[in-house]
Every structure is written in structure tokens, then in C-alpha cells.
Structure 1
């Protein structure tokens, strides 16, 4: 399909048969619209995927519309609008989410050129496998088991309720799994399989020169818990929800200096990505990593840190919530896992980057909001400041005589690069640790804890000196990836850019490293990689020791072994901005390249020769952060 950046969104033009997959999320669910009037994905947070397939057949006088008809698809915020030239009529399909409810809204507006009868017929398959697979990880407790048992033993599963022109279908799929739909005029129920509907329609007669509007709202989940949504009520509030969707789009205001249509679209898309991944479930309030991290619902220390950077200037209260949720994941030993689950349980324990991210996130929040009260907030009897001290004290068990962290164990993959066994001194982990010590020193000083501040500052100076003495490669002109005893992985890794960004490298080294990144990681400049101009590589050359790389990173130009991770491309772009270099290529190329491929929301990772990662990935929003702080001095600010 052909893309145009207009009205702060992406407009794709093509034929009706072509997919235009667009992901959307609110506080309860994620959904995907396909540019044909169907719902290609529907996932309820901490529950399950609802559909295996979903089909929409648009008919005029009972005849399905030809799939070679022209269409345009407009995508922005939580909304997709598909306009179809059906010869006898123009059909405008509007699909969207509101901000909070577990339901999906669909409207068909039929602008008739002659008298006709319109009907949209929907059918779908239920994802039973997801229901079963996700039960142990997210929903297995006594209360839910009683609900499930009651659902299996209950009576009639399918009901129809007629209220004027509105038809409400209520179905019980299995156990505690319901599916409901509220249909406007012309609503009909079709096949009922196993006692619940899997086919329905809306439509009616439309006079020449007039517009017929037909709507439905569909929702699935568990009656009586946080997922329940009254679809009849939502259909009655359809116009208010449609207005809310527009107001949400309007609230995504690009910075004043961003005027180019593509860049305005970019900013709105990325900020929408961050906000769409914010979820609240009881006391759990935080940013999920993306659409494939909902079962069980969890927020990551590293993903959360990079995600909140774009949110901080617009909704700092959400950043505060993220900090408090992550604080629950710190155990009594001061250890952090990779993530915190919806029930505050640790997800994959004792990571080497998570503690530093917790400290740095709290610090950045305080620096850029002035809210020092965050450090006095208590979680499980300890203040946030005490937890900062605890995680850094725990880290001392991993430190050797140089002051650096030693990432021990033969198969240690416990940081962001979790498909690579990086041992010993890992530049990325050391730089984060160094920044965390600096942050802790400033926090302690601001709180009047002079001795603590001096101790953290001394540790920071020692680590900074060791990084520059042991991990800089003068011949190559960059910091090595990692040094594990006698072995050195000296490829150029994009995650080492934080050494420049955090001021650990002096200006000469920082610029030299960034110039080499421009030469080797930006594919427009690196002809050796042989795949053309496709973005910014995460490493180059590829990892040289086969035993160190596993799963997707086993393949060259993929995942951690050279694939493009947009969040890193954006952070690298910010480092170039901070040092007065041309930064637009790493900032924008990944977005443009993926839009051309039909990835219309921010992708997790990608490669020109391997499958793409998931879409609507929260930390890929860092480009909005770059645009929000154009002076390049975000990390230079202090308390």
C-alpha cells in the first residue's frame, strides 16, 4: 500500500484485499484493526486472546463487495478509519477504542449513490487455546476456579435481548469466559456454536443521497470482575466514545518545533504507543512492555525506564506510578528481577541492569518534576530512598577490586541482551551502574545525607575511571562490548552509547565512538552488511563466538546480533543530537522503513531478512522523548 503522512497520522491507499494492520490499546485491552472492517486481534489484559480469526463481509443488496475496490485507511491514536469506494456507495468503517473500557467500537457509514440495502456480516473463531494456556500464569486462584467451575456448570449460555432497535447478544463461551455484542438497527444473530453466537450482522436500507449509520460494540472477559463491560451501555454512549477517541488524538500535541508532517505523525504515533501500554489493575499501575507482554501483565525495569522518558513531559503522574510499582519488585536482599507482575511478584530474578534503572528512573523523575516527595514514599515498610540504597548495597556483592560489576556465571544473560551470554565486564551494565551511583549521590545530597552522598560519589568516580581504563579500545575508537577474562567481544554495540550520553566518556572519546557508530551501525553508510539502507544495526560486526549467542540472536542481522531496535536507534540519535551531529537518520529511518512494510505502530525490533518483532512496543517510543528535549541536555540536568 502507498503511505502518506497527513493530519498527524498515516493514510495508506490500496485495494480492499490488502491488510492495513493497526494496533490500539487502552487501560484494559489491546486490539488490532485490519483495514477491511475486521478485528484481527483482541487481547484482554491478564486474561487471554479472544479470537483466532475475525471476518467482516460488506454487502450491497446481499452481494459481497468486490475485494479489488479502492480504499484508503487513516490511522492515528486508538482509531482506524477505512473508506471504501464500492461504486454504488462509499462505505466508511470507523473502528476505535475508548480510554478505559473492555470493548471495541465499530461503525459503518454508508453514503448511498442509489437506493440500496447494506449489511455487514461478521463471523469469528474463539481462541480456546489462549484461554487454557494463560490460566496457570495469570488467573489460577481459588476465586477464579470457582468462577470457571460455575461457568461450566451453569445453564443456558446464549441470550438475546431486544430493546427498540438495539439487539444485545450475550454468550458464555466456556468457564468464566463471556462474549457480548450490542448491535444497532438491523442487528441479527447468525450461527450459535456450542451455545454462543459466532456470527452476527448490522445493516438496513439506505436511500440515494443519504447516509445510513450502523454500529456494534463487542466485548469479552469475565462477568463480575475488572474485565466486565456492559456493551449495551457502551452502544448507547457510542457518540461520546467517538468524541473521546478524537479528544485523545488531539491531546497528543507535538512540540512546537516539530512541523514536518512525517515528524508530527512520528511523534503522535510514538507517544500514543507509550500511553497505550499504560495499565492499571488494582494497585498495579505501570507500563507493559508491549502487546505480547500481557499474560501475565507485567512491567519491566528497563522497558519501563525507556518508555517513561516520552511520558515524563506530558503525564508525570504516570511515571510516578511506574516507580512505585517497580519498587514492589525489590526483594529484601535488594535484588530486582527483570519485571514486576500484576500481583507484585518478581518475574525472572536478579538482573544486572534492573537495579540501576530503578535508581535512574526515580532520579530523572525528581530532576525534571522537582517532586522530591517520591523518595519518602513507602513500599513494604521501606522508603523509595531506602530501596535505592538497598539495591546499590546489594550490587557491591557483584563488584571486584576495580569497582566494576562482574557479570558472573557461564550462561549469564540477565540484562536487556538476553539472547547473548555476556560475562565479566559488560560496558552497558557498567555504564548504568555508574549513572545510578551518580544519581544516588545527588539524591542523598539533596536529602541532606552528606556521608551517603560522599560514599556514592566516591564509588561513581572509581567506576567511571575503571570503565575508561579497562573497556575503551583506543585502536578501534569505541568501548568494547564486554571483557570476560582473557576474551574480549570487541564488536561495536549500540548499547554502549550510554557511556557518551551519561557523560562517562570525555568529549573526544564520545565523538569518536559516535562517528564510528555512524560509519558502521547506520546501514546507509555500511556497505559491508550487504542488505541496503534499512536502519541502524544494534551491533557490527556480528558476535564472533558462537557459544555466546542463542535463539533469535543466533542469526546475523537479527535480534541482539545486529537487528535494529528502534529504542536504541532513538537513544543513539539523542546522543548525536547532544554532541551536535546529524541525528535524523537513526531517529526516523526505522519508522519510515517499517511503515513501508505495513508496520503502522512502533515495532520492537526488525531486520530486512528475518521476521519482525511485535508492534505497539512501548520502549520504541523513545523518539518522542528525543523530540521533547531538543537541546540535547536531558541527562545533564541535576538536582
Structure 2
């Protein structure tokens, strides 16, 4: 990854993206998802089933105009429907259709089945889903389904109807039309990532908030990813959170534990995944129960409580609170037990099971403490509606945690340590963006928050940090790199990679939001610098994370809608200051 003065993608005044050469367009609708290579390749997948087939077509030549689930080229383009899992490729011809050998990396390969012909249709079947491609004059319609019936039902949509639905989705994502091209396009792509995370099953019922394209096999919905994604959805469709809460509640155990995500996959894939989970000791070690994706994550129960609080504040509906008050009681009791020293601060065991899942953080972790205080405030605020005694206990615990915070984590430098373990005395003193949960949930005074945000500006904004070697490229999630190598593994073992210093747009959005809500200047850089990097590199979609020496994570990531959510929430200030 290298910065360039000639970006691959140019933000247009209408919020769309222009480019001369072909780049990958990630596609995600309620059921259908795909990667489009406009020079002639479309890899198709289905939520709850996984990868289904690769379609090859006569590619289009640029220049291209890219938007949410839409690509326009001279004489052709791709349009994706929202109501059914079907897309139309205009101005082209079908060159081939090849079924996938497996649904995902873990799936067993199956012998390829011959593609059937039925008049103008070609039908590719696998053991977990179906693709039907239909020639319509100069166009090709392609539909996916858990079975042939679903795919054929989707093909009942006319080409005009598919195009109209695609255009309507582009318009719906245009959440800040008065903004300049860079900001407008960032919001458009961010809202697209959030809205596209709303998945449906073959009957049209809600099937979870997806973390992104790469999470359909097995299909699952995450507590933390969903929380940050829902910030963009709250002003648009807050009612969706009631269904999301019911899905997340499946994973909350009687002792208050919850996994990283709840598995929501279709029958065929579910059986295949369960066979792998039971037979592979490495997988079973992490995924302890059939419905769990990575069991016992330290932050997940807290996000469950926070999600209930968000839903109540947005809708006034106390139904989820009343239905799940026993789970909330268990969650509070669990973290009280982990605050064994009497300071009100839960101590995380030494494992890699919170959002920084390549890092063995232990003891008092600033990020988790911020979530804990935020969850306590939710219970203190709305818990009184159903359990006044529980609300009173939460009020006392929140006050105790706030009093204990500085003694446990505040450093002489003025910011909060990443983590400090009383058991061995080790303190990871570096500054992290995820510690801003302490600010988001008002665990610290406004004066202390200002000091922390100034440190973030000076040390984590790459433009201000001359010690890091890559120039101006984004906002680092941590700096300096982790001091104790044994606390990191896999991708995070490398400085500036993954949790060890990459730019994560959801955290950059959290940072920008704190500057905006406190009336501080300097919010534009974290709000848009990551997006400028995407444009420079030709990444058409809200990227998961990136850094100069190691490139990017996946595209079209739901929680990377946070910057868009912040921009829309502070629209008046953002537009005035842009």
C-alpha cells in the first residue's frame, strides 16, 4: 500500500465513485452477495449458504461509475435488487457458469455437478445452494437461492424492476447530499455497509446483522460488530434492533457468558459446520457449543446490554428489557465476580477474547472497563422500569468504577493505559483508540477527556507522528507497538498490523465522534482520512482495517459505517466545517 497523488477512485459530486480501470466492487444485499470484476467475473454467494458459483461474462470497458451495489459502464453495468436475490448484468453476454467446489475454506469439497441448460437459463447446483443465470436479450439476469424455488422466484423480477430497486438503494444510501464529494461518498458507502448488513432468510424474515461479506459461512451475527453497525441504523430503522436483540439473546448463558457471535446458518451449511466443529480439535477448542462462534468473549455480554439500551432510547420500547432482564442480572453478577478486589473494575483473564482477538490482554483493560461502565449506566437508567433494586446496584457499581479508574489505569502522560494486570504488575502503557470507550460512556471528566483526545491527535494521527515511518496515511489504533511480544499473536504480532497499529475505520469514527460532541476541532481527519486511503488504493467500499506495510482487510464491513453514522448525527456541524 502506497499513497498516491493520483487516486484510483475519484469521488464525484453526486457521491458516486469514478475510475478508469477495473476494480473489485463488493456486492451485498439481504440475501445475495458477490464480488464483481467488471472486466468479466462475478463470484456469487448466499447468506447462510456460502460461495455458490463463478459467472464469467463479456466484460465492460471503462470508464466506470461505482455506487452501492451498482456499477455503470458505457453500454452496460451491474444492478442488484433488494427485495429478492437477483442481479442484472446489462449490455453483455454469458461466457460461463461454474459451481463452487466448497461453501467456505472449512467445507468439504464435493464433485462438480454439470451445469444444466433450460432454454435461456443455465442452472448451477451445489449441495448448499443454487445459481440460475438467464439470458435476456443483451442482458443477463442471475439469481441465487437456498434451493431452485428461491432462485426462480427471484428471476420473476423484470429487468426494469431490478434496475429500479438498485437505483432506489443508491438514493437511500445518499445520507449527506449537501456534502463535498469526499464526505458525501464516504457517507454513501458507509450507510450502504450498514444497510447491507441487514440479512434475510429464504422466507424474508430477519436473519441478523452481518459483520460483512466474509461472514456468511457459517452465517453469524456479532455482538460488537452489530453494536457499532447499529449506530448508523438507529436513525433509519431502529426497529430492526428488536429482532437483533432476540438473536443475540440466544447466546447469553445462564452465568452471563456470551460468545463473539451467534451462528445463524441454513440447514445444509449448519450440518456441515457442526460436523467440522465436532471433528476438528482446533475448531472445537474455540467454538465450544453448536450455536457459538468463538465462545466466551469478554466484551460480548456488555454489548448485549448496550444494544438493549440503544434500542430503548431510540424507540421507547421496553419489551426487550423486560424479556431479557434475567440475562442482564446474570451479566452484572458475572462482572461483579470478576471485580474481586472490591474496586468495581472487572479483571479480564489473560486470553485474546475481546475485539483485540490477536492480543492477550489481562487485568484492567481500558476498552472493557469503558463498556462495563456504559452497561452499568444503561441498567441504572432503564433497569428501574423492571427491577429498581438492580438499577440501584448498577448505580453504585458505576460510581465505584469511576472512582477507581484513574488509580488503576491513568498514566503520568495523561492518557489511560491499554491494560494493567495487578496479578503480575505489568502495564501496557501505549495509547489506544479503543480506550476511547471510556470517553464515549462518560467514565472520565470532560477535562480528562480533552487531555486524552489531545494525546490521540498528537500520537495516533499519522500526520502528527513523525516517529512512525509511513507518513500521513490514517489514524493508528495503537502506538507505540505492543511492548511485550508474548502478548500478541498472528497478524497483531507485527508492528502496525491489525490490532498493533492499523487504521480501523470504526475506531476512527469513534474518535471523530468524541471530538465533534465535545465541540473540538480536528474531527475531519479521522472522519475521512481512512476513506481517502480507500480512494487512493481503489478499495470500493468501507474497508475493515488497513496499514501501509500490510494492506487491507475485507471490504464492505458493517461496523466501518461508524464514520458515516457520526457524520450524519453531527450533520450541521460537519457541513458547516467541511
Is the contact made by 1:176 and 1:222 (CA closer than 8 Å) also made in structure 2?
yes
Is 2:259 the counterpart of 1:337?
yes
Which residue does 1:56 correspond to in 2? 57
Matches within 5 A, 1:152-301: 158-161=116-119, 167-172=120-125, 174-175=126-127, 177-185=129-137, 214-223=138-147, 228-230=151-153, 232-234=155-157, 237-255=158-176, 258-281=178-201, 285-301=207-223
Q: How many residues align?
A: 537
SS across alignment from 2:156: helix
Partner of 2:358: 419
Please state if 1:369 is matched with 2:352.
no
Match of 1:304 in 2: 226
User: Within 1, Cα distance between the matches of 2:317 and 2:145?
Assistant: 38
1:549 alignment counterpart:
488
Is 1:477 matched with 2:414?
yes
Taking structure 1 as reference, are residues 11 and 434 closer, same or farther at Cα in structure 2, changes over 3 Å only? Answer: closer
Alpha-carbon offset, residue 353 of structure 1: 0.7
Structure 1 position 596, deviation (Å): 1.2
Alpha-carbon distance in structure 2 between the residues aligned to 1:504 and 1:384: 25
Q: Separation in 1 of the partners of 2:15 and 2:216? A: 26
* Structure 1 gaps, min length 5: 59-64, 84-91, 109-118, 137-147, 162-166, 186-213, 377-382, 634-639
Q: Indicate the residue corresponding to 1:126 in structure 2.
A: 99
Q: Quick one: higher RCO (CA 8 Å, sep 6+), 1 or 2?
A: 2
d(CA) in 1 for partners of 2:128, 2:363: 49
Q: 1:160 to 1:599 in 2, by over 3 A?
A: same
Structure 1 pair 538–632 and aligned structure 2 pair: CA distance change class (3 A): farther
Residue 397 of structure 1 corresponds to 337
Q: Encode CA deviations 1:189-236: one digit per residue, 9 max, x unaligned.
A: xxxxxxxxxxxxxxxxxxxxxxxxx111123444257x53446523xx
Q: 1:121 offset after TM fit, Å?
A: 4.9
Instruction: Tell me the residue number matched to 1:94.
Output: 77
The TM-score with structure 1 as length reference comes to 0.79
Greater share of strand: 1
Q: Within the alignment, does 1:72 sit opposite 2:63 as a pair?
A: yes
SS in 1 for 2:48: coil
Q: Write the distance in 2 (CA, Å) between the matches of 1:368 and 1:132.
A: 39
Change (3 A) 1:222 1:362: closer
Distance 1:299 1:603 in 2: 18
SS, match of residue 464 in structure 1? helix
State the Cα distance separating 1:543 from its structure 2 match. Answer: 0.2
The TM-score normalised by the length of structure 2 is 0.87
Of 216, 240, 264, 1:318 maps to 240
- Is this contact kept in 2: 1:22–1:601, CA < 8 A? yes
CA contact (8 A) 1:559 1:606 kept: yes
Measure the CA separation in 1 of the matches of 2:19 and 2:29: 27
**C-alpha distance in structure 2 between counterparts of 1:456 and 1:56, whole Å:** 59
Residue 3, structure 1, aligned to residue 5, structure 2:
no
Stretch moving more, 603-612 or 320-329? 320-329
Change (3 A) 1:176 1:354: closer
Q: Does 1:587 align with 2:578?
A: no
CA distance in 1, matches of 2:117, 2:562: 47
State the alpha-carbon separation in 1 of the partners of residues 502 and 96 from structure 2: 38
Q: Secondary structure at the match of 2:353?
A: coil
Structure 1 pair 177–29 and aligned structure 2 pair: CA distance change class (3 A): closer
CA contact (8 A) 2:85 2:154 kept: no
User: Structure 2 regions of 5+ residues with no counterpart?
Assistant: 1-6, 266-289, 574-578
Q: Is the 8 A contact 1:555 1:561 kept in 2?
A: yes
Residues 305 and 232 of structure 1: CA distance in aligned 2, closer, same or farther (over 3 Å): closer
Match of 1:105 among 80, 83, 88: 88
Partner residue of 1:492?
A: 431
Query: Residue 464 of structure 2: SS of its match in structure 1?
Result: coil
> Which has more helix, going by share of residues?
2
| SS of residue in 1 equivalent to 2:26 | strand
3-state DSSP class of the match of 2:551? coil
Larger radius of gyration: 1
Task: Name the structure 2 match of 1:463.
Answer: 401
